[in-house]
Amino acid sequence: YVANDGELDSALATVTITVRAVNSDPQLAQVDDVSLDEGQALVLDLVATDDDGDTIRYSLDLAPDGAAIDDQGRLTWTATDGDDAYAFTVRVSDDFGGSSTRSFTANVRNVAPTLGLAGPAVAHQGQAYTVLLAHQDPGDDTVREWVIDWGDGSESIVAGDATQASHVYDTRLGTTRIQALARDEDGNWSGPMLDIEVVALPLQVASFASSQSGFSVRFNQVFDPGPINLYGAGRLPGDILVQGPGGALVEGSLVFDDDGQGLRFLKTGAGLAAGDYTVTLRSGASAFTSSRGDLDGNADGSTGDDYVHAFSIGAAAPTTLSLPDFMRGPGQAVHVPSATAGGLPLTLSSPGDVQDLQFEIHYDPALLDISAVLAGNDLPASATLTVDLAGTPGVVRVTIHNDSPLAAGNLQLLNLTAMVPFDAPAQARQVLDIRNVVINGDAAPGADDDGLQVVGYFGDVNGNNVYDIEDVQLIQRMAIRYSTGFAAWDDISPLIMADIDGNGYVTTRDASWLYQAVAGYANPLIPAMPSAEAIAQAAAQRDAQAASTPAPAGEEPADDTDTATTGSQAPDTDGPSTPQVRFNSGLLDFGIGAPVNQADNWQVSWVGGSSKPAGNDWKVILP
């Protein structure tokens, strides 16, 4: 350019002007507020522009934890908790310092947790019932505790992280609804309901205990002892199968607990030998069953399976006290064996180191009357014997001292003078329990080999209280293995009632011995049954004693009818009766109803006098 002052132009001058471009800030499109559920993912594709075409970058000025935005403007976030509002501010910028922001709010709704409640369809009364607990929350909420309504008026509160809860239904039976409630930061949440059926627990074994004498079993409820048998017709095994070392069968007898919830198996003869044993209790309507169904042997809540238990017996104690197993009927003195007439023997087996001995014998006086304890054949005359029979009824306490040790081996230490009361119930049985054994001042657990008493007449295998030809036939059948025992005594070892000669086996010889008694011959191996007059006299004494005892106030006088005569056939003293003949140990009536000899040989063998003469204490009893 030139300048002019009105007269002259200046020299030419040059000026350079640089025009620079103006930067435009990038712009972010409008972002509206959003709403979503707890646990839901938020994905927004944001849109931004720049008039200058500059590269745009995205960032978050404000956002909750976990939110992110990438270079393409995609914003992602997972809602973690509700109900709540979360603020977002998104910034877009370019390389020349231009930027702009948009803000919006994410409104998050709370979502209830998903609760799980599961359990078996059936609960058993009296047994723990367990439910499984589970929960899932889409957000960050934490279950703090569970409240379980068991449907029977009771609740349980367990920790929020618990996975199960248990309850025992003591009295309730029938359909029951269980409901679980969970508590978290947002409140209480009701879970699903579980409908179950509470049923009575089936018959199950509650405990099992073994000893040298056998074993005892306790059940969770009363069971029916009637169908249970160990022996009977044929060769089938009984309802209790006991196998010892080498699989050998173990023979024994049963005694049922007074409360109806247990039993004891006593091995016949000597105690269990050392070794491994397996016991099987059979389930079924004709075996172990109760009012709630058959035995649930494996305790899974379902009936019908056997109970199987294995146990081991260690070596026998070096010193043991033993009482024998025996059967005697009401009114009979107890002599074992019968021919000895020596009473009930107690045997000591020892290595020869016993100087001081103390023990007790516990028994039921209603089944056995022990009147004296006498020195046995092998107790030295130098020994001091102290016996307490007058203390606790049903307990005999014995103390023995000798200045030198008693001889080693098996010693017949004592003889108990005993008889079976006339009113002892037929087929009752008890364990003669040796307890509290102290040897040379030290307690001796396991030194007892208990005895078994069965109320019945030795040899009367059909249980009708007389010796008859059927008894002989039944023993013969067992001797040739047509049966394993006797139906009338199907839970008692047949050796106790039918091993007449005591050789440890039931043989045809035993049947022959009994046949002699049936035929009227005296036999020292078979105890004589009490006479009818003895039974009647005992009944009269009981009646007189009852009549002389004043009845408690408010009670009616006792009926004088004699209902306790169970030991043998006795005359009916309450009304007319036919004359009867007492012929040895049986009764013969002129009506030939149940004679000792069979009816078809009555006239020949007795009236005709063709039978062999015998010393008969017969009497005619007139009403």
Q: Which contiguous run of DSSP H or E holds residue 100?
A: strand 99-109
* Pair (337, 443) in one structural domain: yes
* Pair (337, 447) in one structural domain: yes
Residue 447 CB neighbour total at 10 angstroms: 23
Question: 3-class SS at 603?
Answer: helix
Residue 329 has pLDDT above 80, yes or no: yes
**Residue percentage of the chain with pLDDT more than 90:** 68
Q: How many domains does the chain have?
A: 4
Distance, in Å, from the CA atom of 256 to the CA atom of 262, rounded to the nearest integer, reads 6
Residue 107 has pLDDT above 60, yes or no: yes
Look at 47-51, 87-91, 92-96, 587-591 and tell me which has the smallest mean pLDDT: 587-591
Distance, in Å, from the CA atom of 407 to the CA atom of 233, rounded to the nearest integer, reads 45
Question: 3-class SS at 174?
Answer: strand
Quick check: is 98 in a domain?
yes
Instruction: Answer for the pair 473, 453: CB distance below 8 angstroms, yes or no.
Output: no
* 551-590 confidence digits (pLDDT tens): 555 555 444 433 333 333 333 434 444 444 444 434 444 4
The DSSP-derived string for 223-258 is ---TT--S--BSS---SEEEE-GGG-B--EEEEE-T
* Pair (336, 445) in one structural domain: yes
* Pair (301, 342) in one structural domain: no
Quick check: is 599 in a domain?
no
Instruction: Answer for the pair 569, 594: CB distance below 8 angstroms, yes or no.
Output: yes
- Tell me which of 61, 81, 109 is where a domain ends: 109
Quick check: is 552 in a domain?
no
Quick check: is 104 in a domain?
yes
In CATH, what number is assigned to the domain containing residue 153? Answer: 2.60.40.10
Residue 463 has pLDDT above 90, yes or no: yes
C-alpha distances (whole Å) from 95 to each of 58, 98, 299 are 12, 7, 79
Give the HSE-up count for residue 622: Cα atoms under 13 Å, Cβ half-sphere.
0
Instruction: Answer for the pair 20, 42: CB distance below 8 angstroms, yes or no.
Output: no
Instruction: Answer for the pair 134, 180: CB distance below 8 angstroms, yes or no.
Output: no
* Pair (440, 354) in one structural domain: yes
Q: Which amino acid does the sequence have at 475? A: I
**pLDDT at position 581, please?**
47
* 34-72 confidence digits (pLDDT tens): 999 999 999 999 999 998 889 999 999 999 999 999 999
Quick check: is 604 in a domain?
no
- Which residues is 279 bridged to in the sheet? 242, 309
Quick check: is 559 in a domain?
no
Cis before 442? omega within 30: no
Residue predicted with more confidence, 1 or 565: 1
Distance, in Å, from the CA atom of 353 to the CA atom of 189, rounded to the nearest integer, reads 76
* Pair (100, 150) in one structural domain: no
**pLDDT at position 272, please?**
92
* Pair (372, 400) in one structural domain: yes
* Pair (218, 291) in one structural domain: yes
Nearest one of 255, 318, 220, 248 to 493, comparing CA atoms: 255
**pLDDT at position 559, please?**
45
Residues in Cβ contact with 10 at an 8 Å cutoff, skipping those fewer than 6 apart: 2, 3, 4
Residue predicted with more confidence, 481 or 283: 283
In which residue are the tokens 């020869």 written?
352
Nearest one of 559, 585, 558, 581 to 571, comparing CA atoms: 581
- Which residues is 326 bridged to in the sheet? 453
Residue 592 has pLDDT above 70, yes or no: no
Give the HSE-up count for residue 470: Cα atoms under 13 Å, Cβ half-sphere.
12
Host domain of residue 370: 330-451
Mean pLDDT of the chain: 86
**pLDDT at position 601, please?**
39
Look at 162-171, 448-457, 492-501, 551-560 and tell me which has the smallest mean pLDDT: 551-560
- Tell me which of 421, 451, 481 is where a domain ends: 451
* Pair (306, 345) in one structural domain: no
Residues in Cβ contact with 226 at an 8 Å cutoff, skipping those fewer than 6 apart: none
Average pLDDT estimate for 481-494:
92
Q: Which two tokens stand for residue 349?
A: 């087996």
* Pair (105, 125) in one structural domain: no
- Tell me which of 81, 109, 137 is where a domain ends: 109
Average pLDDT estimate for 108-137:
92
Q: Which amino acid does the sequence have at 381? A: A
Length of the chain: 623
Residue 126 has pLDDT above 90, yes or no: no
**pLDDT at position 15, please?**
87
Confidence of residue 549 (pLDDT cuts 50, 70, 90): low
* 593-619 confidence digits (pLDDT tens): 434 444 443 443 444 333 344 444 445
* Pair (382, 446) in one structural domain: yes
Nearest one of 424, 255, 412, 258 to 346, comparing CA atoms: 412
Cis before 571? omega within 30: no
* Pair (210, 289) in one structural domain: yes
In CATH, what number is assigned to the domain containing residue 336? Answer: 2.60.40.680
Pairing relation of β-strands 128-136 and 205-211? unpaired
* 200-254 confidence digits (pLDDT tens): 889 999 999 999 899 999 999 999 999 999 998 776 778 999 999 999 999 999 9
Quick check: is 175 in a domain?
yes
Quick check: is 296 in a domain?
yes
Q: Which two tokens stand for residue 609?
A: 């006098």
